Amino acid sequence: MTRGQVADVGGELSVHLLHRPGADSLEHLCSRLDVGVHVSFGPDPVALPDCHVLVAGRPHREHLASSPRLRALIIPWAGLPETTRDLMRGFPRVAVYNLHHNAAPVAEMALALLLAAAKSIIPTDRLLRLGDWSPRYQTERPALLAGQTALILGYGAIGREVARLCRALGMQVLATRRHVSTVSTGLEDEVHPPEALRDLLPRANAVIVCLPLTPATTGLIGTEELALLPPGATLVNIGRASVIEEAALYQALSSGALHAAGLDVWYSYPSDEASRLHTPPSAYPFHQLDNVVMSPHRAGHAGPTERLRMEHLAASLNAAARGDTIPHRVDLDAGY
């Protein structure tokens, strides 16, 4: 974004957050903002007439229409809700951006799920709590990741952090990315276009899915793709569940064709607070499988998550006020 497109009143920038952060988070945000960046809060569209930047994940049409000076929408997380994508098509003057403050905690969860699944941590822990040492004496041994190959689907902010952690384990890293030419990776990782997926899967001892859900990624991995993986492969999904076909994933795990999986994203979610204690995450009984590590979509949660969110938001707002490029612009056509 070029100078003047957002801060069009001599460096003054008016920012509106539809949801007010907690007191500590708000103080942290304000402490990092440049002079001239003015912040307001609340869901009322009446407060937005002079707004240059709106911070919201799911704004309504009246929020966008009430401010003729609005030039940017910052979604305060990584991802683009389908309703927001459809809405923003009617406001081409408003550029859309994401925050990627959660790259480190999500990547750490991906690594934790990879290790727990590959090493069969959950079932052996369960048995030893009962006094059963039999896994120690079984001929089947835990998978070794050092010297193996990890395939990362989605080489964005999270995917690159996952790659760094995999390299620290001694793994070779392959990756797919929509725009390969925009990444400078040196000689450490092999980065390929998405069309190379079927050629890459037979090389992958571990697959880590870091993709958003878009028309191009929905059902990207099905029965045929899972069958291309070598024996003993482990799969981790910290992107979106429906990138992998639900039935195909369950069949591959229950049959043993896939060694193990660590899953933080699911096919069914609680519809309200009352259903949080009794909502199965899938139509299939993944919970009955010992080779699945299950996590309730909490990879992005960590102690300092909100502070990190405010720091990344402040950096984006300061860039807008200075006339610099705001990071992480979203391509509405691609969906991320």
Banded model confidence at residue 141, pLDDT cuts 50, 70, 90: confident
Predicted confidence at residue 324, as pLDDT, reads 94
Q: Which of 7-16, 41-50, 264-273 shows the lowest mean pLDDT across its residues?
A: 7-16
**Does residue 187 have a pLDDT over 80?**
no
Q: Which of 64-78, 92-106, 182-196, 311-325 shows the lowest mean pLDDT across its residues?
A: 182-196
For 50-89, give one letter per residue: b (16+ CB within 10 A) or e: ebbbbbbbebeeebbebbeebbbbbbbebbbeeebbebbe
Strand-pair partners of 235: 207, 261
Q: Which two tokens stand for residue 36?
A: 């001239």
Predicted confidence at residue 155, as pLDDT, reads 95
Measured CA to CA, the distance from residue 294 to residue 336 in angstroms comes to 26
Domains present along the chain, CATH in parentheses: 13-101+304-322 (3.40.50.720), 103-294 (3.40.50.720)
Measured CA to CA, the distance from residue 190 to residue 294 in angstroms comes to 29
For 115-124, give one letter per residue: b (16+ CB within 10 A) or e: bbbbbbbbeb
Query: What's the pTM value of the predicted model, to 2 decimals?
Result: 0.87
**Does residue 182 have a pLDDT over 80?**
no
DSSP string across 316-336: HHHHHHHTPPPS-B--TTTT-
Measured CA to CA, the distance from residue 54 to residue 68 in angstroms comes to 12
**Does residue 26 have a pLDDT over 60?**
yes
**Does residue 335 have a pLDDT over 90?**
no
Banded model confidence at residue 305, pLDDT cuts 50, 70, 90: confident
Banded model confidence at residue 4, pLDDT cuts 50, 70, 90: very low
Predicted confidence at residue 186, as pLDDT, reads 57
The backbone torsions φ and ψ at residue 123, rounded to the nearest 5 degrees and listed phi first, read: -65, -35
Average pLDDT, stretch 131-136? 96
Measured CA to CA, the distance from residue 234 to residue 150 in angstroms comes to 9
